[in-house]
Structure 1
Amino acid sequence: MAYQQYQAYQNNSVNTASPGELTLMLYNGSLKFIKQARKAVEEKDYQKKNEMVQKTQNIVRELMVTLDQDAPITLQMMPLYDFVYHCLTQANVNNDLDQLAQAEEILTQFRDTWKEVIKQERIRKHGQGVKS
């Protein structure tokens, strides 16, 4: 019962989120999966590591596809996303925690920047902050 309520809450959160909030959810999800992949490597659970890295790669691909190709920042972000994807591939193939850490660092910076953008936009529009 509690799980069903949680699922309903999660679905409602996604369905009512703004595009900016959805992007923040993607960043948070990617970081969660990287942490799970790291733990799986440490525990030598390579099947789970593979699943978690692939989930992260799927998110990175989604972030790449949804970039506004007309925005000047895209020219700077796309190579970083490519690098993150490459790091994830190397981490997956070689069980390389350093490569996971590099991907995590960049995605954390993107997430933190995006969180600040949302916060500033809310302040500008409504005088409200953003939840973590």
Structure 2
Amino acid sequence: MMNNAAEAYKRQQVMTATPEALTLMLYDGCLRFMKEGLEAMEQKKWEQCNTSLQKAQNIINEFRVTLDMKYEIAHQLMPLYDYVYNSLVEANMRSKPEKVTECMDIIKELRSAWAQAMIKARKEKGAS
């Protein structure tokens, strides 16, 4: 029963979130899946590791396909997303925990920058 309520709450959060908030949720999910993948890798739970890292790769792929290339920032983000995606594939195939850690650091930086941009935009919107 409790699980259903939690799922319903989470679904409601996603359904009512702004695109900016959804992006933040995706960054959070990506980090969570990389952490799960890393922990599974360290415990040699290969199937779980593979599943988690593929979920992270799917999120990175979503970021790549939704980038609007008419903005300069998109041209800066695309190589980063490509690098993270390819590094996660390599980490998964060759069992390289240091690659997962490196990807997590990059995504943490991007998440932080995104959160800061959201705060700045909210302040600017409030001022106008």
The residue correspondences of 1:1-132 to structure 2 (distance < 5 A) are 1-126=1-126
RMSD: 1.0
Summarize deviations over 1:97-125 as a string: whole Å, max 9, x none: 11101111111111000011111122222
Shift of 1:19: 0.5
Q: Distance in 2 between matches of 1:54 and 1:120?
A: 33
Match of 1:73, SS? helix
Shift of 1:62: 0.2
Q: Distance in 2 between matches of 1:14 and 1:64?
A: 20
Q: Which has the higher helix share?
A: 2
Q: Distance in 2 between matches of 1:74 and 1:48?
A: 32
Taking structure 1 as reference, are residues 47 and 23 closer, same or farther at Cα in structure 2, changes over 3 Å only? same
Q: Distance in 1 between matches of 2:30 and 2:19?
A: 17
Match of 2:72, SS? coil
Match of 1:70, SS? coil
Percentage identity across aligned positions?
A: 38
Q: Distance in 1 between matches of 2:36 and 2:78?
A: 25
Q: Distance in 2 between matches of 1:11 and 1:126?
A: 28
Normalising by structure 1, we get a TM-score of 0.93
Please, which runs of 5 or more residues in structure 2 have no aligned partner? none
Shift of 1:28: 0.4
Normalising by structure 2, we get a TM-score of 0.95
Shift of 1:91: 0.5
Match of 1:4, SS? helix
How many residue pairs align between the two structures? 127
